[in-house]
Amino acid sequence: MEKNCAIEMKGITKRFGQVVANDSIDLQINRGEVLALLGENGSGKTTLMNMLSGIYQPDEGEILKDGKTIYIRSPREAYEYGIGMIHQHYKLVEVFTSTQNIILGLNDGRMDLKAAENKVNEICDRYGFEIDASEKVYDMSVSQKQTVEIVKVLYRGADILILDEPTAVLTPQETKKLFAVLRNMKADGKAIVIITHKLNEVMEVSDKVTVLRKGKFIGTVKTSETNPQALTDMMVGHAVSLNIDRPLYPDPRKKMIIENLTCVDEEGVKKLDSVSFTANTGEILGVAGISGSGQKELLEAITGLYPVKEGSVRFIKSDGSEVELVGLTPKKIRQTGVGMAFVPEDRLGMGLVGSMGMTGNMLLRSWKKGKGALIHKKEPEALANKVMEELDVITPGVNYPVRRLSGGNVQKVLVGREIASEPEVLMTAYAVRGLDINTSYTIYNLLTEQKMKGVAVLYVGEDLDVLLELADRILVLCGGQVAGVVDARTTTKEEIGLLMTQFNAKEDER
């Protein structure tokens, strides 16, 4: 096909403070072509596309449309250049019909809903969308809402469409439909970009793939000339040595047996699909997976925060007796004498109370022990001081609101408190996210220390290099299923990368 370049990005660099989100990236979007923008979480895909849709402005580099340099200052200007982006979070007014949503903000004379509805139906017929122009959005399924968003962009005359992880919320059947529509639009000469980290989808729908890694441009290849293995290598890169100390615990025993754990969210989507594994004492079990593969649900289901549909979580006490945790509330779990600690992803939301000091936050874990109506501050205060000293928490005092501490110090307070409860199972979700190198190592050391005390540690992480050196075994989740459990000492980054991205593809082939 003849090259018909719609948009060209040259040397685009975008910084947020000291973080370089995009580092001199070149990208070409052609008409009549589906370009897949591939990369792990945080690789800068969405940031790059937000610069095309007018949400951000690049710090360096230029954007050319049909060979002319353009400046896109707002989403409205992006529309004027024919660029439309469909975000992950839909922006729709629920009590309006699809047509009302589609024409919202358009100023083309008198409002004529009938004419607009006809135009919407016309667009739907042309590309094979299945929506009712007069249906209210609150009655629609997620995929229909997405369709409304796409039609909205087309209605405004966009010929360059950017879809940010469009399949994240869709069922396989809906995904197939979406891809069919994308092919129709491609045949109609539209330029399409899909942001994704699912390799099977890249292979299925795209013509070209551009890979980003940690904000850097890795390369652009034709889909027909590449394969999933090569793309995975481009995506994850080569292993980097971090020198994390990993001693071996002499006497590992089974601590927690999880069998066929299945969880379903409010919309009926399976978040966990018969997950089975064992956590041992004196072991860090790393949990790897693309974000949203069920990591959060797994930890919350074990701690009794997320409703479990099927399966069992059996905790083995030190005397050998077993306790079934499924169906118990967090309070009951504690009452049965199961020592479990949870460092959630959302530190100041689920973990700590931001406006309280360290003492108050320590109290949250122990207030049940107190008697009478008054609070006893001595013990938690002593604990707060201990955590402050041992973990080098930098704070003006134990009563200083933790919200005002830096991210690293907040995490130290949280981890310190959880460890102080002397748990038998310690679960952490993205424990080092947003922390600097030194604090990260402090956390690694703390976890290893706990492991050597015989604690079963579950470490949900996103950095594969860390998982490879910190964990003893790695459980890989993919789409809510266990893609595999590998020995962290012998496995390779490529193997995990493949498990993370391609498990579903294999399922489809069967």
Residue 104 C-beta: closest distance to other proteins, Å: 5
For other proteins, the binding residue among 71, 105, 115, 436 (CB under 8 A) is 105
The residue (of 94 and 422) whose beta carbon lies closer to other proteins is: 94
The residue (of 92 and 387) whose beta carbon lies closer to other proteins is: 92
Please check whether residue 210 is in contact with residue 222, taking contact to mean a CB–CB distance below 8 angstroms.
no
136 scored as a contact of other proteins (CB under 8 A): yes
Which of these segments, 13-21, 100-108, 274-282, 320-328, binds other proteins (CB under 8 A)? 100-108
For other proteins, the binding residue among 96, 306, 400, 441 (CB under 8 A) is 96
Residue 212's SS3 state is strand
The dihedral built from the CA positions of residue 174, 33, 77 and 42, taken in this order, carries a sign that is positive
Of 278, 276, 285, 299, the C-alpha closest to 249 is 285
The rounded distance, in Å, linking the Cα atoms of 369 and 374 is 12
The residue (of 105 and 172) whose beta carbon lies closer to other proteins is: 105
91 scored as a contact of other proteins (CB under 8 A): yes
100 scored as a contact of other proteins (CB under 8 A): yes
Which of these segments, 18-26, 102-110, 378-386, 449-457, binds other proteins (CB under 8 A)? 102-110
111 scored as a contact of other proteins (CB under 8 A): yes
Residue 338's SS3 state is coil
Phi-psi region of 399 (alpha: psi -120 to 50; beta: other; left: phi over 0): alpha
Instruction: State the distance between the two ends of the chain, measured CA to CA, in whole angstroms.
Output: 33
The 10 Å Cβ neighbour count of residue 35 is 23
The rounded distance, in Å, linking the Cα atoms of 137 and 105 is 17
Q: Which of residues 204-233 bind other proteins (CB under 8 A)?
A: none
269 scored as a contact of other proteins (CB under 8 A): no
94 scored as a contact of other proteins (CB under 8 A): yes
Query: How many residues in the chain?
Result: 510
The residue (of 77 and 259) whose beta carbon lies closer to other proteins is: 77
Q: Annotate 444-473 with b (16+ C-beta within 10 A) or e (fewer).
A: bebbbebbeebbbbbbbbbbbbbbbbbbbb
DSSP 143: H
Please check whether residue 202 is in contact with residue 235, taking contact to mean a CB–CB distance below 8 angstroms.
no
Residue 156 C-beta: closest distance to other proteins, Å: 10
400 scored as a contact of other proteins (CB under 8 A): no
Residue 425, judged by CB atoms within 10 A of its CB (0-12, 13-18, 19+), counts as buried
Q: Which of residues 21-80 bind other proteins (CB under 8 A)?
A: 75-76
- Residue located via tokens 């966990």: 272
For other proteins, the binding residue among 9, 38, 92, 236 (CB under 8 A) is 92
Rg over alpha carbons for the chain, rounded to the nearest Å, is 25
The residue (of 105 and 434) whose beta carbon lies closer to other proteins is: 105
Residue 106 C-beta: closest distance to other proteins, Å: 8
For other proteins, the binding residue among 66, 69, 104, 390 (CB under 8 A) is 104
For other proteins, the binding residue among 69, 138, 322, 337 (CB under 8 A) is 138
Residue 117 C-beta: closest distance to other proteins, Å: 14
11 scored as a contact of other proteins (CB under 8 A): no
Q: Which residues bind other proteins (CB under 8 A)?
A: 75-76, 91-96, 100-101, 104-105, 107, 110-111, 136, 138
